[in-house]
A and B are shown apart, each in its own frame.
Chain A
Amino acid sequence: MLEINDLHAGIGDREILRGITLSVNAGEVHAVMGPNGSGKSTLAQVLAGNPSYEVTKGSVSYNGQNLAQNGIFLAFQYPVEIPGVSNAYFLRSAYNEIRKANGMEEIDPLEFLDLVEEKLKLVDMDQAMLSRSVNQGFSGGEKKRNEIFQMAVLSPRLAILDETDSGLDIDALRIVAQGVNTLRSPENATIVVTHYQRLLNYVIPDFVHVLANGRIVKSGGKELALELEEKGYDWLQNAGAGAGAAA
C-alpha cells in the first residue's frame, strides 16, 4: 500500500529525514517510535504532504499517488483551531470533496448528520460539538478525540497518528485507542507515531520501528516497544549516530 524508499526531507537547509525505507501493507499496524528530534513527526507531516517540508531525495509511493483525497489521513499532534468554521461544515466539506474526487455525488447536511451520529458515540462526543468552531476552545483531550472522530467519518485507507497519545489522561487514551481499534480492518493500514509505549498497550502493533537521527535504526515486532520502555532510547541512538558517521 505504502512504499517509502530512501526518503530524505527537511526544512530549508536542515535535513531531518536522512534515508527512510519502509513498506506498509493493508491490514497492518506499524508503530514508529523514537526520542524527541528523531524525525518522527517530520515523517508523519511529509507523508501527509505538508508543503513546509521539502523532499530532497528518495520517494514515497502510495498506490501510485499521495493525496488525502486518495485516502491518507493524518491525526495531528497539535490539531489546528479554525475560528468561524463549524466542525459540521468543515467535516461535511471534506467528506464531499473526497466523494467528488471519487466520482460520487455530494450529500446534504441532513444525510450527513445521520452518518456522523454513530461516529460521535465511538469517541464519546456530544452532538453539540458539531456546531462549535473547529477545535476552538477544545481541551487537549477533546482535540485528540475530534481527530479520531474525523478519521472515523472520512474512513481513510491509511491513517497516520502523530503523537495522538500525548497529553491524554488514561480515560481519554482508552477512548482514542478504542476508536482506532474499531476502524482497523484488513483493507486499512495504520501508522502510530509515538514517543511512549503506553498507547501500544491498547493499539497492538504488528511492527515497531525505531527512528534516530532521521533513520530507522531498528525494526521488530511488538516486543521491541516493551524493550524500549525498559531500556530507553540511548543504546539505539548511539547506533544511529554511528551509522550516520559511517555513511
Chain B
Amino acid sequence: MSDIATRKGSRDNAILGKDGANQVNTRGPNPINTYRADFKRQLGVPEWVQTLRAQGMARFEALGFPTTKNEDWHFTSVAPIAERTFHAAMTSRAGISSEGSTAGVVARADLRRFTFGQPAWHTLVFVNGEFSEDLSSYAGLSDKVRVSSLAKAIRSGTGRPERHLGKIATFENHAFTALNTAFIQDGAFLELQADAVVEEPIHLLFVSEGEGEAISHPRNLIVAAQNSRASIIESYICIRDNCYFTNAVTEISLGEGARIDHYKIQRESEKSYHVGTTQIRQARDSQLHSFSFAVGGSLARTNIYTSLDGDAATCTLNGLYLTDGKQHIDNQTSIEHIAPNCPSHELYKGVLDGQSHGVFNGKVYVHPEAQKTDGKQSNNNLLLSPTARVDTKPQLEIFADDVKCTHGATVGRLDEMAMFYLNSRGIGRETARTLLTYAFAADVLETIELEAMKTELERMVLARFASTAAA
C-alpha cells in the first residue's frame, strides 16, 4: 500500500481495463492531452522525483477522471473539471520559476483578511502553488523545526523528502492524487524533530491568482517525529473571483506520541474547482485533530484519509461545510483502524441553501487486528431551502469482534417551533433564521482550539446566512 513502485505488470493492466470503461467521454480535443503535454514540459528534477512523477502520470492516464460509477464519486460528477482544459499555472511560466518571482502579483495587504488577525503565526504563502519567500514570514522557529518549500528541499538533494513523498498519499485508486503526483513541484515541507513543540500555528496559505483557467498542484509534506507537536493550517483562497482548479495533496507522517492539529480552510472563489486530499499515517500514541471548513468553490471536494497504524493512536475528524447558490461541496473521510486500542471521533455538519448540493461520505474501516476500537461518527445536515440537497453516506466496516462503534446521519430543516418561539419574542424571521443556523453549527465550531480562528469562522457563518436571508 505504501510503496506503489512495486505495483506493475498484469495487475495494473487489469485495473486499466476495468477503469478505462469509466472514463469521462469528452467532446472536442481531449484535455488529457494538455496534461500530457504539460507533463513533458516540466523542468528537470532529481531522478527519484522524475520517477515518482512518471508513476503518477501513468496511473492518472490509466484511471482517467472518475465517473459517478466509481463508488467514491457516486454523488459527485467531476465532468466540469474533466471537460475543461486547464493550463498549468507553474510550468507555463517555467522560465521564471525562481522563488519570489510572484511578488508584485499578490501584495501582502491582499492577504491580511485571510490570516485571522494573527501576525505572530508563521505564514508560508504560495501563489499558484509556488512558494513566495517575499510574502512569507516564519522567523523565530526553534532549530528543531525545519520549514522549507518542497521545491527547495528537492533541489538541495539531501534526500530528506524522498523518504516520505508519495509514500503516504496512495494513488493507485485516486486519480486526482495521481495527477498531483505527476506534477509534484512545490508546496510546504515541514519537519518536526523529536520533542519539537511549535507554539504558534504554522499557516500555509495557498493563493490562486491570475487570468485564464489555470491549474495548480500544491504538494505538502509534514513529518512529525516522536512527541513533537504543532498546529498547522492550510488555507485555500482567491483574491479575485477567478476560475481555476486547485488539486492539492498533503501527506502527514505522525511519529510515536506526536500530535498535529490540522485545519483545512477551503475558501476558494465561487467559480473555481478544488480537490484537496490530506492523507495521514499515525504511529502509536499519536494524535491527529483535523478540522475541515469548506465554503468556497463551484465544485469542491475534500478528502481526509487517516490510517491508525500504531497502538492507541487517536484521531478526531471534524468538519463544517456551508453551501449556497449552485455550489457542490463534497467531503470524504476515511479512518483505517489497523492497530488495536484506537479511538476515532468524527463530527461533520453541513448547512445547505439555494440550489446547492452537499455530500458527506465517511468510511470507518476496522481491520481484524484492531480490537478495542472505539469509533464514533456522525453527520448532521441542515437544509435551508427546498431546493438544496444533501447526500450522506456514513459507512462502517468491522472485521474485529471486540469493538465499540457507532455512526449516524441526520438531515433536517429549521425547527418551525423554534422559529415561532424566537418570533414570539420579537426576533424577526431573518434574524431568527441566522441565529438558528449559527446555533446548528456552534458545537462543531466549538471544537476549534485556535480562538482567533473560531471567532473568524463563527463570524463567517453568521455573515453568510445573514446576507442570504436579507436577499
A80–B425 Cα distance when bound, in Å, is 12
Chain A interface residues toward B at CB < 8 A: 48-52, 67-69, 73-74, 76, 79-80, 82-85, 90-91, 93-94, 97-98, 101, 133, 150, 154
Judge whether B421 and A98 touch: CB under 8 Å.
no
Assess whether B420 is in contact with A50, with CB atoms less than 8 Å apart: yes
Would you call A84 and B443 a contact (CB within 8 A)?
yes
In Å, the complex CA distance between A91 and B441 comes to: 20
Complex alpha-carbon distance, A76 and B420, angstroms = 11
- Determine the distance from Cα of A34 to Cα of B420 in the docked complex, in whole angstroms: 25
Note all chain A residues with C-beta closer than 8 A to B78.
Answer: none
Check B443 against A68 for contact (C-beta < 8 Å). no
> B421 near A150 (CB under 8 angstroms)?
no
**Residue on B nearest A98 in the bound complex, by CB:** B426
Give the total of B residues in contact with A, Cβ under 8 Å: 22
Given A84-B438, A85-B435, verify A48-B418 contact (CB < 8 Å).
no
Question: Which residue of A is nearest B442, CB measured?
Answer: A84
Asked whether, in the complex, the Cβ of B423 is within 8 Å of the Cβ of A68, the reply is yes
B71 at interface, CB cutoff 8 A: no
Q: Would you give the 0/1 interface string for B406-418, flagging 1 where the beta carbon is closer than 8 Å to chain A?
A: 0000000001111
Contacts of B427 in A (CB 8 A): 90, 93-94, 97
A68 touching B442 in the complex, CB below 8 Å, given contacts A85-B435, A93-B431 = no
B420 touches A51 (CB 8 A): yes
Q: Is there an interface contact between A82 and B421, defined as CB atoms closer than 8 Å? A: yes
Please, which residues of chain B bring their CB within 8 A of the CB of A51?
416, 420
The reply to whether B416 and A52 form a contact with Cβ atoms under 8 Å apart is yes
> Across the interface, do B424 and A48 meet the contact criterion of CB distance under 8 Å?
yes
The residues of A that contact B426 with a CB separation of less than 8 Å are 67-69, 94, 97-98, 101, 154
Given A84-B443, A150-B425: 17 more A-B contacts, CB < 8 Å: A68-B426, A69-B428, A74-B424, A80-B415, A80-B418, A84-B438, A84-B440, A84-B441, A84-B442, A85-B436, A85-B442, A94-B426, A94-B427, A97-B427, A101-B426, A133-B439, A154-B425
B421 close to A49 (CB less than 8 A): no
14 A-B residue pairs with Cβ-Cβ distance under 8 Å, sorted by A, are A48-B420, A68-B424, A68-B426, A69-B426, A74-B424, A76-B421, A80-B415, A80-B418, A83-B443, A85-B438, A85-B442, A97-B431, A133-B439, A150-B425
CA distance A83 to B442 in the complex (A): 9
C-alpha gap A84/B415 in the complex (Å): 13
> Taking chain A's interface residues, is the majority helix, strand, or loop, or is none over half, making it mixed?
mixed
Q: What residues of chain A lie closer than 8 Å to B443, measured between beta carbons?
A: 83-84
Q: How far is the CB of B92 from chain A (nearest CB, A)?
A: 47
Task: Provide the bound-state CA to CA distance between A69 and B428, in Å.
Answer: 9
- Residues of A within 8 Å of B422, CB to CB, are 82, 90, 94
Whole-angstrom distance between the alpha carbons of A73 and B417 in the complex?
Answer: 16
- The chain A residue with its CB closest to the CB of B434 is A93
A82–B420 alpha-carbon span in the complex (Å): 12
Taken residue by residue from 428 to 455, chain B's Cβ proximity to chain A (1 for < 8 Å, 0 otherwise) reads as 1001000110111111000000000000
Per the bound structure, the CA–CA distance linking A197 and B423 in Å amounts to 30
Known: A50-B420, A52-B416, A93-B431. A83 touches B425 (CB 8 A): no
CB proximity of A224 to chain B, nearest CB, Å: 29
CA distance A76 to B428 in the complex (A): 18
CB nearest neighbor in A for B440: A84
Complex CA gap A70/B194 in Å reads 65
Shortest distance between the CB of B42 and any CB in chain A (Å): 49
- Name the residue on B nearest A70 (C-beta): B426
With A94-B426, A94-B427 as given contacts, are A80 and B421 in contact (CB-CB < 8 Å)? Answer: yes
| Nearest CB of B to A92, in Å | 11
Distance from B264 Cβ to chain A, minimum over Cβ atoms (Å): 23
Closest to A151 in B: B425
Q: A49-B424, A154-B425, A154-B426 are in contact. Are A80 and B417 (CB under 8 A)?
A: yes
The residue in chain B whose Cβ has the minimal distance to the Cβ of A93 is B427
The docked-state distance in angstroms from the alpha carbon of A93 to that of B422 is 10
Q: Give Cα distance in the complex from A85 to B431, angstroms.
A: 13
Q: Which chain B residues border A68 with CB–CB below 8 Å? A: 423-426
**B439 and A85: CB pair below 8 A?**
yes
Are A97 and B421 touching (Cβ within 8 A)?
A: no
Question: For window 7-60 of chain B, which residues contact chain A by CB distance below 8 Å?
Answer: none
Kindly report which residue of chain B lies nearest to residue A67, judged by CB atoms: B426
B357 to chain A, nearest CB (A): 25
Taking the nearest CB of chain A, how far is it from the CB of B430, in angstroms? 11
The 8 A-B residue pairs with the shortest CB-CB distance in the complex, in nearest-first order: A84-B439, A84-B442, A94-B425, A80-B421, A68-B426, A98-B426, A85-B439, A69-B426
Min distance, Cβ B169 to any Cβ of chain A, angstroms: 36
Chain B's closest residue to A50 (CB) is B420
